[in-house]
Structure 1
Amino acid sequence: MVAKIKSGKSLIGALNYNENKVKAGKATLIAASGYMKNHEALSFFDKLFRLTDLAERNIRTKTNTVHLSLNFDVSEHMNKDRLVAIADDYMKRIGFEFQPSLVYQHVDAGHPHIHIVTTNIQADGKRISLNNIGKLVSEPARKAIEIDFGLVRASDKKKEEIQKLDIKPFEYGAADTKRGITNIVNEVTKSYKFTSLPELNAILNLYNVSADKGTKESVMFNKGGLRYWALDKNGNKIGVPIKASSIYTKPILKLLEDRFSLNDFLRKPFKENLKARIDKVRSQAISLEQFKNNLNKNNVTVIVRQNSEGRIYGLSYIDQVNKAIFNGSDLGKNYSAASIIESLQYKPTGNVATSADNIAKKATSASPNQDQPFIKQRANGLLDELLNPLDPNDTLPNQFGPKKKRKKRRKLNL
């Protein structure tokens, strides 16, 4: 089991996130603790008022929202009763036993998981400290629950294998658009190190998603807004865009820009290793397609940037091992599009030492009755003349035999 705790300042935001999932058929409210009614009889106002009533008893504490998720291994089949029992045990172990809470079962991911919405403000107005709650409180609780309920232990598998969504290129119409875009955007912005919006889009485009600021004349552009589009197989925008502010993790432009400088620092240690992999592949490739395919085998995705006329003007390299993207200019002049294409275009395609043998073979096939050693010797001579031309000043005077002496004209004395 993997437990994740997020704290915030908006109870209505956390509640709306889960209620919208319920409306879309992606979640179900399976339990409510600390409420006067059964969870099935609660209205949206009932759910919100119970939480905000406590939060208002401590107006000095701004962080009054706790949004938890408990994630289970894909091999585990969890019914509602078991999920509710685990949620109750977990809340008791982390000190939230007497806090009102709402438990939602989500069915929009590849693994079973529940979300719990509550507040850290108690009935007497005191707050429950959230400082290091994950390490000091939640982690011991998680390990104890794994043993008591016989769950797959997170320590037996990498956490990322349980937490990470198995994102694939989005197919418009095959799944809920907002959910599909949200999964991809959340995973990419969390995992990859990008330093600009074009770099982010280079990665998102691999999953048929694009971030868009709008045209320079638009209100959205002038206000620093951002929206995310689904793309079809040809890279064209399709459907209705999703506002960045409507996604729960808020991947808005300002937040992304704050990440650019940090990501630039975080990706530096992987630069030289990436250059070494590119150098190795470039020395063996004889075409751009082969260059891309061979790098892909080395876990490097090459993005070719070209204009509407098909002219290539840039290359980007995505290191899939270290989740870092670099433009060719970031790595150095030798890794730019012009340099790579030139090195591939003018790379010798054969061994000069065997050229004479090739000439001889062609000549032999054309005249099978001729003496082969003589042909090969003649081929070597022709090759030497082509590869090592002599100075014309040394050869021209002797090419036409000895120089003839000019006859002197006799002068006649008249």
Structure 2
Amino acid sequence: MVAKITTPKSIEAALNYNEKKVQKGNAVCLHAANYLKDAKEMNFYQKLSGFERLNSLNERATTKTLHVSLNFGPSEKLTENKLLQIASDYMQKIGFANQPYLVYKHEDAGHPHIHIVSTTIKQDGSRINTHNIGRNQSEKARKERKEIEQTYGLIKAERQQQLAKSAIKAVDIEKAIYGKSETKRSISNVVSAVFSQYKFTSLPEFNAALKQFNVIADRGKEEGRIYKNRGLVYRILDANGNKAGVPIKASSIGCKPILSNLEKKFTDNETAKESLKPFVKIKLDDCLSQSPATMKELMEHLKQKNIYTLLRQNAEGRLYGITFVDNQNKVVFNGSDLGKGYSAAALQSRLTAGTEKSQKQDETKGGGSGGSIQKEMVQQKQQDKTIPLTAKTESPLDVLLSTKEQYDNTPNSLLKKKRKKKKRNL
């Protein structure tokens, strides 16, 4: 069990995060501890008021929120009752047993995990110290945490951290291409890990997983000897995606990722992939709900969810396919395999429609202050184009104090009389 503890500035933000997951069907609120009503009987504002009542007792405190996530191994099958028991034991050990807290079970990842939201303000208005709580109180209760792991038969945190550290490392191109031995070692490490860990059902899908680590499986040209003999070599890709370095034969790599063995993998992975499809779709839907304006923006959102996106384009640069590599669940899907709405064409159409809709909404806004301000700015720009530069830059005060000649008629009464010059007789 791995615990991650954060202390958001706003209790409303932490609650909102979990409640939105519930609305989307990606989470469920399992329990409301130390509340007068059951979690299912309360709406968002009733849950929030339970925290705000205590928070109002301490105006000086700046940190009043505790947000915990307890993460378990992907292979662990935990019932809701067991999750609640673990949550209760954990909150007791970090000193929050008597605090109101909500327990949410999230279902949008490949591993079981729960989120717990609570307040740090107690009934008497005092605050529970959360400074370094993740390191001090939780690690101080290390013995008790180990007991929880032992009691519930959980995978130990140290083991989960070791698995996280064993993540595949991309080939260092600059080092790998100088020499055959270094190239083979770098390629073998990546290929062996992807071959054994990822679920793919075709050579392009296998390559989609490899490419993010700067490696590609190459059959050569169709008229070539390697292709005709069902051979396969592995090569390094440079920063521009071009093949570089010495090609390595598939048969020389320890896990024997030759074409015939890959084809067996394709068949075996057909059924194994199906169970992971919903997890990938949930992540995609979550990213699309953030209304990305471009494909690049969508890819950035997916990257944050540990999904690598590969776009397939023809020689003219036209997009004709898209592949998603979920590195958390170690599975590869073509967009069209997830459903019609996830194909390259459908996603591109959706992004374009969203952008056009947003632009039309901005253009049609005229009733609000924002729309009127935009209209005034456009009108002002049009006026500026027709006004001469001198008239546009002079202020009324400049005009009044100007030394330019005035051609207006001046009343006689205001004109100064000229003195007549006397003629001198010479």
TM-score, L = length of structure 1:
0.48
- Provide TM-score, normalisation by structure 2: 0.47
